Amino acid sequence: MRRRVLALAQIAPSLGDLGRNFVLHEEKVQESRSAGADLVIFPELSLTGYQLQDLAPEVAMRRDDSRLQTLAKLTVGGPSAVVSFVESTDDHRLFAAAALLEGGEVRHLARKCYLPTYGLFDERRFLAPGDAIRATRASLGGPVVRGDIGIGIGVCEDFWHPTLPAILAQDGAELLINVAAGPARGASVDADQGLGSAASWGTLLRSTAVLTTSFVAFTNRVGVDESLIFWGGSRVIGPDGTVIAEAPLFEEALLLAEIDLDEVARARTALPLLRDERLELTRREFDRIIATRADLDEA
């Protein structure tokens, strides 16, 4: 059995206050260790805060930043951690990145590919979009009986483009992780949980779990940046779409959930959607549409 305990750290980062946020991360990693967690997952831009605007370059860190390395050291002996920050690169681009820290080092980095720049969002103005979608393998602290665990990380809006979790699952992910800074909007009794954003995310996450026959762990932040109030509601969903654990709205929480990754194999035997996916068909049709849009198709 590949059982793992996940801890979803539904925190309220302080906008632009790296020092304070690093301390908060250290506390939550320790707390997760005490609770027996194998992996603790922080929300989007957990180390920097979300509504940074021109602060983004000032709080940006390279992936080998010493502060990040120090935090990574805490993962020796578990739990592993997914943390998020503004990553700066040699060519001076900035990304909204999520890093998997394990065994004392940064093992994997996912850069947000889809930067919402509409409505209340203005991310593309300040950040560059990632250009890679890659799953990775990690042991997540627990006893490795039959190999490591396939993990795919997306940052918030990434999952609203269903090709992204689909590619992660095809690339080997069994556990899909979404780190989010989702602002509340659309308060209405007509919406599930009284909140439009909670209702639409709830539908999306369960659908993503079912369509990829994967576990989905969603950590959304709480707290306030400027006008935005982040709604929390972090949750873990099984490969059949069942909500296994769910954190409250708007309150800080450390949500614990035990999952058995062997369930993924059983789910995919019962419902072989990934096996039946037709990548070449999908690619062919996308190629055709791309060519048509660029007016390259032979009439």
283 binds another protein (CB under 8 A): no
Site for another protein in 157-196 (CB under 8 A): 184, 187-190, 193-195
Q: Does 115 bind another protein (CB under 8 A)?
A: no
Closest distance to another protein from the beta carbon of 24 (Å): 14
Beta bridge partners of 123: none
Q: Among 10-18, 146-154, 199-207, 277-285, which window interacts with another protein (CB under 8 A)?
A: 10-18
Question: Nearest distance from residue 247's CB to another protein, in Å?
Answer: 14
Q: Is 53 in the site for another protein (CB under 8 A)?
A: yes
DSSP at 58: H
Spatial contact of 71 and 22, defined as CB atoms under 8 Å apart: yes
Helices 196-212 and 163-170: crossing angle in degrees, nearest 10, is 30
Q: Which is nearer to another protein, 60 or 209 (CB)?
A: 60
Output 16 or 103, the one with its CB closest to another protein. Answer: 16
Please say which residue, 18 or 110, places its beta carbon nearer to another protein: 18
CB of 195 to another protein, least distance (A): 7
Q: Is 18 in the site for another protein (CB under 8 A)?
A: yes
Minimum distance of another protein from residue 227's CB (angstroms) = 8
Token pair for residue 138?
């990690």
In DSSP terms, 86 is beta-bridged to 96
Give the residue, chosen from 17, 240, 258, 277, that forms a contact with another protein under the rule CB under 8 A: 17
Q: 174 CB contacts (<8 Å, ≥6 apart)?
A: 149, 150, 151, 214, 215, 261, 264
- Pattern 125-164, binding to another protein, x per CB under 8 A? ----------------------------------------
The site that binds another protein (CB under 8 A) totals a number of residues, namely: 31
Q: Given the DSSP bridges, would you call strands 3-10 and 39-41 parallel, antiparallel or unpaired?
A: parallel
Query: CA 53 → CA 68, 77, 94, 226, 284, distances in Å?
Result: 22, 37, 12, 11, 39
Q: Does 250 participate in binding another protein (rule CB under 8 A)?
A: yes
In the complex, the smallest distance separating the C-beta of residue 11 from another protein, rounded to whole angstroms, is 13
Nearer to another protein by C-beta: 134 or 185? 185
Q: Please name which of 159, 262, 273, 161 lies closest in space to residue 212, comparing C-alpha atoms.
A: 273
242 backbone φψ class: left, alpha, beta (φ>0; ψ -120 to 50): beta
Q: Is the peptide bond before 143 cis (omega within 30 degrees of 0)?
A: no
Name the segment binding another protein (CB under 8 A); options: 32-40, 50-58, 85-93, 256-264. Answer: 50-58
Instruction: Please state, in angstroms and rounded to a whole number, the distance separating the CA atoms of residues 68 and 71.
Output: 5
Report the phi/psi class of residue 295: left, alpha or beta, with left for phi > 0 and alpha for psi in -120 to 50.
Answer: left
Binders of another protein in range 208-237 (CB under 8 A): 222-226, 229
Distances (CA, A) of 193 to 105, 119, 174, 201, 230: 39, 22, 28, 11, 14
Applying CB under 8 A, the span of 3-11, 36-44, 52-60, 271-279 interacting with another protein comes to: 52-60
Q: Where on the chain is the footprint of another protein (CB under 8 A)?
A: 12, 14-20, 51-55, 58-59, 184, 187-190, 193-195, 222-226, 229, 249-250
